[in-house]
Structure 1
């Protein structure tokens, strides 16, 4: 397996960084990634059909023996930018620190999302080299701009839809195998996302006549905007247990300790109180039980001694299952309670449909988790807190899931989109086994 790690490190060193402003993207890095994939995985490229879609996204088809509905395995090629001085190790150096079971690879993309992308290639390469033929078609879908627009994956899903393909199972990045993420539950849990929250951005704008900062009016535009942002922060969306979260808590209830077991077993009664308590137990739990809204961008005057004629804030909102763009926008208007604040929807999408946590697709995932990641791992539904490329595939499949087959600590999960992103080598290698078994079972 040392050669697999070497290939992983080589691909991590290619800085396929995406930017919202595409003029800043070095698309040559994506060309380099594609060339390296062809060279490093010759059996995959001998057996599978490959297409380039939307410029840089990749779609592979592995023809199966039968004509049943296919499986789609997803990952994305791009990574978020880095601030190098914040890192303890060179972010694209793919340095290994430690030995044996303590070995860790440090690099941007180790978890999000080249860890999955390369593990999928390793699994397929091993099977293709053994002349394995899947029962039904297997597709590999690798978008190139998940971290920004997601247009590549959207184009892939649209193309598959045009071809009349309805996958039996779609698996993208998402929840991981975690320990202690749910308070009072000690067993390791495989958090498989059955839905993801909607995402929208509202622009709040305050206007005034402007002038010199030495003679400010009673309520300048910046103060009016600050008051609106403060009102939003002090009046969060209400808490509740959405169906995927309720299913998660019910699934882990038998594994909870002490009185918590009874509390989680009677959610029809205790649900509102549980939601309120979870909201106070850290950012992840809070985001699982309410729609969240936070101001992320602020702008005002062009100079420090100038009154702003326009003060503007971008408010990023993540919609809990059951909430809508229209409903959230109206609630923001009520909370801001200022007709002089302009509120506009910059972009928005409602929460995804909820995939079932019963049926053959779910059983296949659950069996594969236990066979490859541990018999003691409890597979549970989970509400994906962030958006992923999988949202584009809900129009062509009823069984869209979000799961990254790696055992990740709290600290490792916190490093996503931050500095010092890393993954343990043995954890990554077990992920290859998961994808290999999933393809073989499909």
Structure 2
């Protein structure tokens, strides 16, 4: 459904005037916090289970946005995609004749992304503050989705609202794409990308969630690191299934369905996928090098010569560094008999696999069969996609992005990296060669650990920094 909204006249401000009038407005951080507090209250929990999604919560979330961001909804066109995903178009002001004379101008559109669906909160009793309260204690705003990813959506909309109130309009079309089923790897982002492709839109830049300004991100490096995802691992869910006649548990067979499944899982655990050090990770180490302790500084300066021992070391430093060097497999769900004294006729497990850049779904499946070494364990691909293409860590898009990061987070080391998780942005790599993943928020180890866990919260100060980042980026776009 396409919702045309009025677009009041307005012209782009020159850079100096824009910086002066649209600089991080007093009160915009407070408005962002108030808006986020309300939006956290909508239980927009996505689910693959039929009928488990509370549609009314998604509709209430959408209905609240025009009231919270009236200038945005007066100036931008809004389209509902795939039911509850949102696609805004902020029309550019460049004259049509300029676009016709300069083909490159037609491809200067940009897409800023976020998603507003969230994962379940679990037991509310385990939270310090109720997970859907949006509680503001003066330092943090608490609740499911504050970091992943309603906070980013609010920062984008608050920046646009502030700029519109200051009289700003972009020279080139700017799209805001907000997904409703990212947490379940849903199809809304793909539908949005297909919609733009069908209209001939080839974005110059796409920016989604992903990396952040991370404290304690790398052993021995005290400065925060602004890690910008230039690629993301592939995601593959594989069902492992074993079968057996079943029967009474008092006469168990040898190597029944559950035992056979357990052996397969044990073999996966004992035989990790081979290690390698991607070029992007090598570049990241070079950028960390000057800020690392002396022994590491020398090693990172010569990472090309020391690639093998560094790769080996990464596999043993911790879970995050290990995941940087290989395809990983996590057994996430198990299912066997429904009765305590009944043999399982079938036993199932789900293997959630993150495929390293340079590998593929087909190659990963072949390796998995080789590791399990049992033809009686059936493997079925539930859903999977190859790793994303690698976006450049140099050139005009990268330079623009890192310059904006540097203005808001001057103390941060800016580096490319490969995302371990998946985002909606992978759906846009077919129409844009410069897709990046970065949330403009400071997150320490505890904050990163709260994502998808209890006590998720965002610091009010960094929410304000996020608004300022998007104001800076939008002015530059």
Bin of the TM-score, shorter chain as denominator length: over 0.9
Separation (CA, whole Å) in 1 of partners of 2:276 and 2:31: 48
TM-score, normalised relative to structure 2? 0.90
1:273-312 aligned within 5 A: 273-312=309-348
Secondary structure at the aligned position of 2:250 is classed as coil
* 1:183 alignment counterpart: 219
Instruction: State the Cα distance separating 1:225 from its structure 2 match.
Output: 0.7
* 2:373 alignment counterpart: 337
Secondary structure at the aligned position of 2:112 is classed as strand
Equivalences, count: 437
Separation (CA, whole Å) in 2 of partners of 1:169 and 1:146: 20
1:82 is aligned to 2:121: yes
Residues 235-269 of structure 1 show CA distances to partners (whole Å, capped at 9, x for unaligned) of 11122111221221122222222021110111222
* 2:102 alignment counterpart: none
Q: In structure 1, list runs of 5 or more residues that go unmatched.
A: none
Residues 178-237 of structure 1 show CA distances to partners (whole Å, capped at 9, x for unaligned) of 122111222221100000000001111111121111111121111111001000001111
Secondary structure at the aligned position of 2:297 is classed as helix
Secondary structure at the aligned position of 2:461 is classed as helix
Separation (CA, whole Å) in 2 of partners of 1:405 and 1:279: 29
1:51 is aligned to 2:79: yes
Q: In structure 2, list runs of 5 or more residues that go unmatched.
A: 1-26, 100-104
Q: Indicate which of 239, 244, 251 corresponds to 2:275.
A: 239
Q: Indicate which of 300, 321, 324 corresponds to 2:360.
A: 324
* 2:431 alignment counterpart: 396
Instruction: State the Cα distance separating 1:88 from its structure 2 match.
Output: 1.4
Secondary structure at the aligned position of 1:7 is classed as helix
Separation (CA, whole Å) in 1 of partners of 2:236 and 2:110: 30
Residues 12-51 of structure 1 show CA distances to partners (whole Å, capped at 9, x for unaligned) of 1111111111411111111111111101111111111111
1:42 is aligned to 2:82: no
* 1:411 alignment counterpart: 446
1:92 is aligned to 2:132: yes
* 1:429 alignment counterpart: 464
* 1:13 alignment counterpart: 41
Instruction: State the Cα distance separating 1:339 from its structure 2 match.
Output: 1.6
Q: Is the 8 A contact 1:63 1:137 kept in 2?
A: yes
Q: Is the 8 A contact 1:190 1:379 kept in 2?
A: yes
Separation (CA, whole Å) in 1 of partners of 2:186 and 2:317: 31
Secondary structure at the aligned position of 1:268 is classed as coil
Separation (CA, whole Å) in 2 of partners of 1:55 and 1:221: 41
Residues 352-411 of structure 1 show CA distances to partners (whole Å, capped at 9, x for unaligned) of 0000000000000110011112x2212100111101000000000000000000010100
Separation (CA, whole Å) in 2 of partners of 1:225 and 1:91: 36
Separation (CA, whole Å) in 1 of partners of 2:242 and 2:38: 49
1:439 is aligned to 2:467: no
1:369-388 aligned within 5 A: 369-373=405-409, 375-388=410-423
1:133 is aligned to 2:172: no
Secondary structure at the aligned position of 2:387 is classed as coil
Q: Is the 8 A contact 2:235 2:353 kept in 1?
A: yes
Q: Indicate which of 98, 105, 114 corresponds to 2:150.
A: 114
Pair 8,334 (structure 1): closer, same or farther in 2 beyond 3 Å: same
Residues 97-128 of structure 1 show CA distances to partners (whole Å, capped at 9, x for unaligned) of 2x4xxx11111110000010000000000001
1:362 is aligned to 2:398: yes
Separation (CA, whole Å) in 2 of partners of 1:342 and 1:78: 33
1:171 is aligned to 2:207: yes
* 2:293 alignment counterpart: 257
Separation (CA, whole Å) in 2 of partners of 1:246 and 1:163: 38
Separation (CA, whole Å) in 1 of partners of 2:334 and 2:389: 32
Separation (CA, whole Å) in 2 of partners of 1:125 and 1:251: 36
Q: Is the 8 A contact 1:20 1:149 kept in 2?
A: no
1:27 is aligned to 2:48: no
CA RMSD, aligned part only?
Answer: 1.1
1:70 is aligned to 2:109: yes
Instruction: State the Cα distance separating 1:151 from its structure 2 match.
Output: 1.2
